[in-house]
Amino acid sequence: MSVSINENIITLNTKNTTYQMAVNENGYLAHLYYGAALNGAVAIERGKVGYHTGLPLAYDSKSRELSPDVCPLEYSAYGSGDFRTTPLKVCFADGSSVCELRFVKAEMLASKPELSGLPALHDSDNKSQTVEICLKDKILDLRVYLMYTAFEEEDVIARSVRIENHTGKDIVLESVLTTCIDNYEDEFDFIAFKGRPHFERHLSRTSLGDLKITSESKRGSSSHQDNPFVIVCSKDCTETAGDCFGSALVYSGNFTASMEKTQIGTSRFVMGIHPENFSFKLKNGQSFQAPEVIHSFSSKGFEKLSHNYHNIIRNHLFRGKYALAQRPILINNWEATYFNFTADKLLAIAKEAQRIGADTFVLDDGWFLGRKGDNSSLGDWFVDEEKLGCPLNVLISKIGELGMKFGLWFEPECISENSNLYRAHPEWVLQAPARPGMLGRKQWVLDMSNPKVVDKIFEMMSNILDNNNIEYIKWDFNRYLTDVYSTALPANRQGEVHHRYVLGVYNLLERINKNYPNVLIEGCASGGGRFDCGMLYYSPQFWASDNTDPMDRLAIQYGTSFCYPVISMGSHVTASPNHVTKRATPIKTRSNVAMAGTFGFELDLTTLTGADIETLCSETEFYKRNSELIRLGDYYRLTNDSSRHIAWQFVSKDKSQALAVLVQKTTRVNYKPIIQKFRGLDSNAKYCVTIDGEKCEQLYSGTALMEVGLGIRTIKYESESTRIEFQKV
């Protein structure tokens, strides 16, 4: 069994890992171990690090040396002698915040339950096992329910927390983090994925030392700057060796993830909703559900950890028609036309797109009434037929005659001051009383914590979707949250707005998914500003970045791949020189980089030469032939993002087929040639190798390809790229 409860020991096992807890002599739930599989052993000795003789704070008079300040706790609360970062802080009715959590019971659940109002991993085949543990305050009837689900094949532990108020009076939650893991060791590196707009999710690795290290967002979204996925690893950890622990928060708002070294040389990791600007009132009998964290451990380096996350996200986070299916190959008009288009121009682009093999046309920003630029009309989702020159359904029909599906851009969460909706409901924006507020991108943020706002946006979007044959939505969000104040909540509950905003967004997305199951939603937030597991539950692909320069995308997609599968990354072939960087790159390289994602196009195809069109025809056909391998195969980072060439590889689950791509990043004169080693192949098999369409005369063993490699002579200069195919014989 994946989960066992044996007296006071609770153990979760996956194929290669063990997670273990124990109830100590004072009734506290101690964290014993998370790491490589113990195969039935018990890590009880790790629970004894709580015995401390230096100015101890005793649990009680019977155990004066067992101190809450150093004991490895599974979940702790503020005010009871644990001075490390505590995941829970409560303000009780009398104003006190002291809370001591004691173990009550642990019980197996029949299946993994859904989390109220929140995205989470699902288990449709019911192969996972779930245990729920109840802790209760020593004095007041505050209950904390810890839920753990073991996904055995994926080596994943999913963890969430629910707080229930049975104290008889109102309480206020001031911090509810989801996870707390106390490690016996402290010699760790902390890896976060940092960035900025147009430069998202770049790997940042820092030694823990004697510091507290934090990755966080307080911007209202998970943000371009920090991603809610982090790795804690041994100092010697590499792609293929060493211990690493991953934690991915299934949430799209403010978050924190931190690691600290304790006074006795152990360490604590916590992750969850950021406590700053957060408070949540619970009346007696009410509960609060915190978001889920997806944990995984690998003793074989980052590569195995990434495979664990890719598999769990594909199989247990994605939902609906497109979860594992081939995604549309789309042409988006944004970088081709921006706001300046007519139906005739769009049709001309669509005809060329159909010629090169695209199957979906996406009309981006500028299609709705009054939208001539970015300073008006957001919130008024009515078609501008005069601009188009025809009704939207006529344009869609003409696109359909080309054999193509149709998609449409929305930015549902934002509103222009110059809009009919704002004039009718200025109280529906986030704006502090008696303050002018701060515009961003010339727009306000709608108060998605207000159910009336969510209902109105759903009504307007439904009107478009019900009356037009739309099979794809690009869901954009081009703001951070400022002036966070809701007129729908009283003054003493404004600390709930950030979280209720996220719940409102999820509610709207869920309603769109439920009512329009054939519509694929691709998320976007000024590019990759909300690329997280929470959004991927509703939109199984997300625009990786508004920076479409393929040379910059190498690093963006490299960092993203540590947690998120390739098929979740929106990536397009765009114009050269690039519209952001003005850098010129070969069309073949632009295609190769876009294939390490969902693959599509975003340029004015009517301006290309016949030779370029023919190249894109063959590139699209190549992608279609290899779509299943790219979508469902195992992904290998063959180089790091600082190498002079960047290489990656896809290998089918049965190791019969593989595809590698190399891109020359920098050129060095008279330097050693590239000899690239590969990974994931069958060491006992022979492979036929094809380089850029040319078959090699000899067969290569899997062992030789992985241990010796191939000499790569097809790329010499900056921005050149090559493709290598492997077929088992």
- Helix then strand count (H, E) for the chain reads 13, 39
Is 403 exposed, middle or buried, given 0-12, 13-18 or 19+ CB atoms closer than 10 A?
Answer: exposed
| Of 248, 242, 369, 347, nearest in space to 301 by CA | 242
Q: How many residues does the chain have?
A: 729
State the sign of the Cα–Cα–Cα–Cα dihedral 195, 201, 207, 208.
positive
How many of the other CB atoms lie within 10 Å of CB of 280? 20
CA–CA distance, 475 with 513 (Å, rounded to integer): 12
| Dist CA 293 CA 177 (whole Å) | 10
Among the listed residues 389, 390, 374, 512, the one whose alpha carbon sits nearest the alpha carbon of residue 442? 374
In the numeric block, which tokens belong to residue 94? 């009398």
Cβ-based burial of 584 (10 A; exposed 0-12, middle 13-18, buried ≥19): exposed
Q: Give the span between the Cα atoms of 457 and 463, in whole angstroms.
A: 10
Integer Cα distance of 207 and 190 in angstroms: 6
Residues annotated as part of the active site? 476, 546
Residue listed under structure tokens 């192969």: 127
Asked if 308 and 156 touch (Cβ cutoff 8 Å), the reply is yes
Residue 476's Cβ-count burial label (10 Å; 0-12, 13-18, 19+) is buried
C-beta of residue 623 within 8 angstroms of C-beta of residue 595? yes
Phi-psi label, residue 719: left if phi above 0, alpha if psi -120 to 50, beta otherwise: left
User: Do residues 371 and 377 make contact, with C-beta atoms less than 8 angstroms apart?
Assistant: yes
Please state, in angstroms and rounded to a whole number, the distance separating the CA atoms of residues 83 and 55: 13
To which residue do tokens 């629910």 refer?
Answer: 162
Q: Is the Cβ–Cβ distance between 535 and 248 less than 8 Å?
A: no
Buried b / exposed e over 697-720, threshold 16 CB at 10 Å, is eeebbbebbbeeebebebbeebbb
Token couple for 464: 């478009």
Both tokens of 423, joined, read 């004039």
Report the C-alpha gap between 223 and 534 in whole angstroms.
Answer: 13
First to last CA, the chain: 39
Residue closest to 89 by CA, chosen among 291, 286, 278, 216: 278
Taking the C-alpha atoms of residue 447 and residue 427, their distance in angstroms, rounded to an integer, is 9
Angle, CA of 149, 522 and 641, to the nearest 5°: 75
CB atoms within 10 A of CB 120: 24
